[in-house]
């Protein structure tokens, strides 16, 4: 596709040639009919009078909506535009290109239809009420790019109100892929997960979810740091979310800075941004793992991390072992929708991580502890594992 010339608005006099604008013109997705309407007979079946039979049947048996509409096959991708990628609070309209992008990734990588919903509201209860009123149209809700701590409250309240899966991808997608990569890194180096001392830099949405899933997976020694240092029970400046985090991490009661707790740690996981000094990286344990996932600039540059770590992963696509949420969320929702699950449980997330790790278990190397997003084995493996876990946990309706 030819590049498009876009007038610069940043104070420069010259025009900018940017193919991204050409690709995005007119949007990246459209609604497409799945049935033909070529003559009067087909019109009468697709719309009136034929459609009235379907409406009446659903009115009598509401569960039929999953069989005779798109509800069981479509996910709402919901945002308020308050924490968009690395751009921050840019508002609902500016978030739409990302929500469209997320929607096409659902389709491309999981065969799941998705619809972007950008909301012009910021109050937690207002967002919850709006999504709850929209929910009859969708088989699942993917929360996206909503700032913490509001994202935690919105997810929790929607899970209480709705009988369809609700999933905040910035939390759980990141956590699933991180656990999968960590499982394989431990397998590659012959170390049990339970013996790994882990430090997480970042106590926001992703950091919280990663810590939680690692505890569920059996990693008992986890310390999480925010900008002020270790999240510990004795701090009096913690938010409600960080107080909860302190209850299930940092069992040894460590205090101090990020650098101080990195000394001797087996795993560093970065979801915070900023830069970790090389001298702190050098204090990690022998054969450590560095997952520095800030984008575009990781907390520890891969070239620095590789001097000291046995396995290095980032959020970038130009280095090996990309921790990319697209490895998780399409298959997670595909599996949940396949069995018409009412929830996405911790067991389903663990099953997704195990299945994702297993995709490359026979070809492990320091540069391959996680599959490529374009590995065609990923979505079927995750879908199958999530569907089976949903049945095992009693949240499947078929």
163, 340 contact by CB (below 8 A): no
47 is catalytic: yes
Instruction: In whole angstroms, give the CA distance from residue 160 to residue 76.
Output: 17
Instruction: In whole angstroms, give the CA distance from residue 171 to residue 207.
Output: 8
Contacts of residue 198, defined as CB under 8 A and 6 or more positions apart, other chains included, come to: 214, 219, 221, 222, 223, 265, 266, 267, 268, 269
List the catalytic residue out of 9, 28, 47, 71.
47
Say whether 163 counts as a known binding-site residue: no
319 is catalytic: no
Instruction: In whole angstroms, give the CA distance from residue 277 to residue 322.
Output: 22
Buried b (16+ CB within 10 A) or exposed e, 164-199: bbbbbbbbbbbbbbbbbbbbbbbebbeeebeebbbb
List the catalytic residue out of 28, 68, 102, 286.
102
342, 395 contact by CB (below 8 A): yes
Say whether 324 counts as a known binding-site residue: yes
Say whether 170 counts as a known binding-site residue: yes
184, 361 contact by CB (below 8 A): yes
**Reduced to 3 states, what is the DSSP secondary structure of residue 283?**
coil
Extract the annotated binding site for (S)-malate. Answer: 295, 324
The catalytic site residues sit at 47, 102
Residue numbers in the known binding site are 144-145, 170, 295, 324
Annotated binding site for a divalent metal cation: 144-145, 170
């Amino acid at each position: 596709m030819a590049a498009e010339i876009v007038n610069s608005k940043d104070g420069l006099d010259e025009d900018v040639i940017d193919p991204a604008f050409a690709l995005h013109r007119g949007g990246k997705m459209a609604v497409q009919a799945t049935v033909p309407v070529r003559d009067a007979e087909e019109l009468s079946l697709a719309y009136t009078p034929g459609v009235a039979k379907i409406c009446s049947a659903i009115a009598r048996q509401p569960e039929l909506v999953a069989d005779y509409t798109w509800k069981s096959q479509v996910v709402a991708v919901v945002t308020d535009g308050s924490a968009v990628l690395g751009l921050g609070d840019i508002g609902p309209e500016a978030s739409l290109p990302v929500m469209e992008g997320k929607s096409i990734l659902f389709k491309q990588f999981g065969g799941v239809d998705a619809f972007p919903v950008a909301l012009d509201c910021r109050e937690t209860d207002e967002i919850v009420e709006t999504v709850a009123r929209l929910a009859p149209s969708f088989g699942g809700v993917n929360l996206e790019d909503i700032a913490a701590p509001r994202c935690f409250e919105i997810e929790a309240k929607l899970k209480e109100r709705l009988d369809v899966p609700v999933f905040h991808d910035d939390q759980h997608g990141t956590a699933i892929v991180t656990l999968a990569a960590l499982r394989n890194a431990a397998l590659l180096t012959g170390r049990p997960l339970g013996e790994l001392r882990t430090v997480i830099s970042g106590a926001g949405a992703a950091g919280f979810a990663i810590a939680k899933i690692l505890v569920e997976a059996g990693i008992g020694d986890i310390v999480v740091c925010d900008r002020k240092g270790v999240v510990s029970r004795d701090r009096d400046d913690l938010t409600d979310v960080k107080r909860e985090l302190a209850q299930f991490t940092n069992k040894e009661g460590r205090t101090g800075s990020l650098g101080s707790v990195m000394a001797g740690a087996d795993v560093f996981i970065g979801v915070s941004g900023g830069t970790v000094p090389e001298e702190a990286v050098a204090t990690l344990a022998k054969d450590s793992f560095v997952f520095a996932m800030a984008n575009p600039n990781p907390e520890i540059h891969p070239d620095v991390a590789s001097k000291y770590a046995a396995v290095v992963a980032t959020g970038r696509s130009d280095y090996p072992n990309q921790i990319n949420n697209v490895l998780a969320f399409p298959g997670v929702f595909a599996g949940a929708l396949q069995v018409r699950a009412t929830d996405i449980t911790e067991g389903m997330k663990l099953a997704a991580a195990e299945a994702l790790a297993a995709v490359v278990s026979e070809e492990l190397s320091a540069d391959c502890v996680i599959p490529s997003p374009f590995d065609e084995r990923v979505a079927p493996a995750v879908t199958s594992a999530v569907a089976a876990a949903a049945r095992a946990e009693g949240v499947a309706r078929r």
